[in-house]
Structure 1
Amino acid sequence: MKKRQYYQLQVLSTERLTPNLQRLVLSGDDLASFPDAPAGSYIKLLFNQFGEPQPTAPQEGQRILMRTYTVRALNKAANTLTVDFMLHGEGVEAGPASHWAQSAQPGDTIMVAGPGTSKGLAPEHDWVILLGDMTALPAISAQLEALPEQTRGYAIISIVSEADKQPLQAPAGIEVIWLVQAGSAGLAKSLLDIEWLQGEPAVWAACEFSSMRAIRSTLDVEFNVPRTQVYVTSYWREGRSEDQHKIDKREDAQQYTQLVS
């Protein structure tokens, strides 16, 4: 197994983009050796057992909490790594990463592991659908920016409030649809509301666990989209920690594989 690489980074700046989205720009000498991270790549932010940011590489046997976030932008020339955080309320009850994102100040230090790469859109397609909640907004934004200019399709994003809308850079043929307080079934329902274009789509979706299952079922039952054209995943589960969610996600994937095989 490849040894995990750690990078010590400092907060360069912090900005509240919308009421429920915080942007942190990280920097540091370690970024010089940080691998190139394509759109949709992810990192692990390290916190100690008390939920405080881990400032140095963890020691053997030390209990570490890791939280996964999308690389919104990596600028090696400027020596910056940008990460956007969906905020889950106030205080420590919001979780270590959300709480840290709201309280972090320039100069604060945190250890980062990664990057890892996530599956993107199926390479062969006639049009695309990108959909997710605010936890997926950074990944969707990065993918939209990387799409060829002639791409057609939809970006459907569920947000907490009207004020969480933000400008997105996308090809002219992509219709951006904002769903405000759509609930767990809203993203799946949106697939029934849009006009499906001719040809074979590529679908990429990331959201809460129950929404993920609803989207997957809708694609299978209502549209019979080939599995090779679909990537649907959950980034979190209501009422569960990231470690618990990983277990749920693994069990669900096993059950689903057995069901469709």
Structure 2
Amino acid sequence: MATNTARPTKSRSRRPQMVMEVVAVETLSPTFKRITFGGADFDLFQDSEAVDKYVKLLLPPDPTSGITPPFDMDELRKTLPKDELPLRRTYTVHSVDPASKTLKMDFVIHGADGLAGPWAENAKVGDLLQFSGPGGKYQPDPEADWHLLVGDEAAIPAIGAVLAAMSEDAVGHALIEVATAADEWKLPAPKGVEITWLHRGGEFTPETTVLERAVKGLPWREGRVQAFVHGERESMKSLRKYLHDERGVDRADLSLSAYWAYGRGEDAFQAEKSLPVGQIYPEAGLQY
């Protein structure tokens, strides 16, 4: 197999905290909102060439608590019980505009479920959000023979960023699972990359997901593939076995990780990453 020539960016060791203000809210679909942030702290955002940029949000577990950014976590730990402290949530940055000093993030809306989703559903211009970052390291490799992009709703912002960063002559497939056709996005992509939207027909469950079956049913192209595969944890485990173990995709060419886990809140999901249940590559304990 050819040597990987991708040039991932290095993760930054210092990720500053910043507080930014909502300057625009856009509804993309019944389950997605795009929020634009701006403000003086934009200058703290250490942008990179990575297309899978993500930040760590800090949100109070009770939106009616009256706790508002900026949060001084050291001070809050002195006065609040642990279950009332702001919690971290990981979200992909859709795009950064240095000219206007704004950045955009896309949020999945699932009613009252979760923490960041309800915050985004009720967000209005002037609201404040605290976060740190960015992290991320992926870049599409123009030397790859073809590309494979796979994910569910949680991965759409990152997949969209990867598609937008590809060279015009890139070829490959993007398989994206959503609930219904109403959740599809218009994603700019090279002409040679075919986007296929997969419909579950409702909420995600282990029984309704169709992503793994679709990937295994995809005609396999010749040459070196660079794969970007992100989504629900158990689906990612199954796809790791197929892509790495069966198809022989080298780990250096496979960006594969779990963004979430069915039946788990983010705190439990994050805590399990060091346990066997949370490991995508169990023999090494790696989350790619």
Task: Settle same-fold status: TM greater than 0.5.
Answer: yes
Deviation at 1:5? Answer: 1.2
The Cα offsets for residues 177-231 of structure 1, whole Å up to 9 and x where unpaired, read as 1001176452221222222111111111110111111111221343222222212
Deviation at 1:33? Answer: 2.8
Match of 1:45 in 2: 57
Match of 2:99 in 1: 77
Q: From the superposition, tell whether residues 146 and 254 of structure 1 become closer, same or farther in structure 2 (CA, over 3 Å).
A: closer
> Residue type matched to 1:48 in 2?
P
Deviation at 1:123? Answer: 6.8
Q: From the superposition, tell whether residues 67 and 148 of structure 1 become closer, same or farther in structure 2 (CA, over 3 Å).
A: same
Counterpart-to-counterpart distance in 1, 2:127 and 2:151: 30
Query: Could you list the runs of 5+ residues in structure 2 that have no partner in the other structure?
Result: 1-11, 77-84
Q: Which moved more, 1:2-11 or 1:148-157?
A: 2-11
Deviation at 1:254? Answer: 7.8
Match of 2:159 in 1: 140
Q: Which moved more, 1:194-203 or 1:216-225?
A: 216-225
Within 5 A, what are the aligned runs for 1:167-182? 167-181=186-200
> Residue type matched to 1:126 in 2?
D
In the alignment, which of 121, 130, 140 is matched to residue 111 of structure 1? 130
Deviation at 1:37? Answer: 3.9
1:68 has 2:90 as partner = yes
Match of 2:41 in 1: 30
Q: From the superposition, tell whether residues 87 and 193 of structure 1 become closer, same or farther in structure 2 (CA, over 3 Å).
A: same
Counterpart-to-counterpart distance in 1, 2:117 and 2:55: 15
Q: From the superposition, tell whether residues 224 and 124 of structure 1 become closer, same or farther in structure 2 (CA, over 3 Å).
A: same
1:129–1:204: 8 Å Cα contact kept in structure 2? yes
> Residue type matched to 1:47 in 2?
L
1:130 has 2:149 as partner = yes
Identical aligned residues as a percent: 32
Deviation at 1:253? Answer: 2.7
TM normalised by structure 1 equals: 0.90
1:121–1:230: 8 Å Cα contact kept in structure 2? no
Deviation at 1:95? Answer: 1.4
Match of 1:15 in 2: 26
1:256 has 2:259 as partner = no
Partner of 2:185, secondary structure, is coil
> Residue type matched to 2:283 in 1?
T
Q: Which moved more, 1:128-137 or 1:228-237?
A: 228-237
1:122–1:203: 8 Å Cα contact kept in structure 2? no
> Residue type matched to 2:105 in 1?
V
1:202 has 2:226 as partner = yes
Partner of 1:9, secondary structure, is strand
Counterpart-to-counterpart distance in 1, 2:257 and 2:187: 22
TM normalised by structure 2 equals: 0.82
> Residue type matched to 1:45 in 2?
L
Query: Could you list the runs of 5+ residues in structure 1 that have no partner in the other structure?
Result: none
The Cα offsets for residues 49-108 of structure 1, whole Å up to 9 and x where unpaired, read as 4256741032305332011100001101111110001112x22xx111000000011001
Deviation at 1:239? Answer: 1.6
Match of 2:254 in 1: 230
The Cα offsets for residues 15-72 of structure 1, whole Å up to 9 and x where unpaired, read as 1101111111111111023111432100111112425674103230533201110000
Q: From the superposition, tell whether residues 31 and 180 of structure 1 become closer, same or farther in structure 2 (CA, over 3 Å).
A: same
1:164 has 2:219 as partner = no
Q: Which moved more, 1:148-157 or 1:58-67?
A: 58-67
Q: Number of residues paired by the alignment?
A: 257
